Structure 1
Amino acid sequence: MFDFIAIFGDIIAVKTIILTHAAAKDLDQLPAAPRAAIADALHRYAMTGLGDVKRLQGRDGYRMRVGRYRVLFDEDQTTILAIYIGKRETTTYR
């Protein structure tokens, strides 16, 4: 499924953001400011592909850095599936 946005007469495809149950629970437990920053970063990445994103080493998926927080996710041509959202700790990538 695509969401479409018209910008300057051009139509671009925007990726759909899906949170797993665990990621949604993680996001709900964060303070308001980081929660808003993470939501903004995910939306910006879905619309433009811009953000502090790197491919994970040794496993599938990507990580997005938003200040002290990380979002671990998978993506394909149409969807971003957020798997984990939390503060960066030594156990974040395990």
Structure 2
Amino acid sequence: MSEVVFTATASRQWVKLAPQLRKRIGAKLEAFAQTGRGDIKKLKGQDGARLRVGDYRVIFYQESGDIVVVAVGHRRDIYD
């Protein structure tokens, strides 16, 4: 099982999300951390991957067994 770690930027973005959305995204992150499965795609042109949760995306990379979350947000804003 991997541990989920948030960067400072991702933490600020996480707090701004609605509680219901945090719960939904958190459940998907935990499921990915435990099983390694989910709607994951490798990012093109940069390191890392994205986890899709409806219209929201979690940008992350894996480092020494941990999942480091870099950004969390709506799909229209997250790739800027």
Unpaired stretches in structure 2, ≥5 consecutive residues: none
More strand by share: 1
Higher relative contact order (CA 8 A, sep 6+): 2
Question: Which amino acid in the other structure matches residue 37 of structure 2?
Answer: L
More helix by share: 2
The reply to whether residue 19 of structure 1 matches residue 41 of structure 2 is no
Tell whether the 8 Å contact from 2:40 to 2:52 is kept in structure 1 after alignment: yes
Question: Which amino acid in the other structure matches residue 45 of structure 1?
Answer: F
TM-score by length of 2: 0.93
Amino-acid identity (%): 35
Instruction: Specify which of 66, 69, 72 is matched with residue 85 of structure 1.
Output: 72
Aligned residue pairs total 80
| Larger-gyration structure (1/2) | 1
Paired residues for 1:4-15 under 5 Å: 14-15=1-2
How far did residue 26 of structure 1 move? Answer: 0.6
Q: What SS is found at the alignment partner of 1:57?
A: coil
Counterparts of 2:71 and 2:20, CA distance in 1: 18
Counterparts of 1:21 and 1:76, CA distance in 2: 16
TM-score by length of 1: 0.80
Paired residues for 1:1-94 under 5 Å: 14-89=1-76, 91-94=77-80
How far did residue 77 of structure 1 move? Answer: 4.3
Q: What SS is found at the alignment partner of 2:78?
A: coil
Unpaired stretches in structure 1, ≥5 consecutive residues: 1-13
* Runs of 4+ in structure 1 over 3 Å off: none
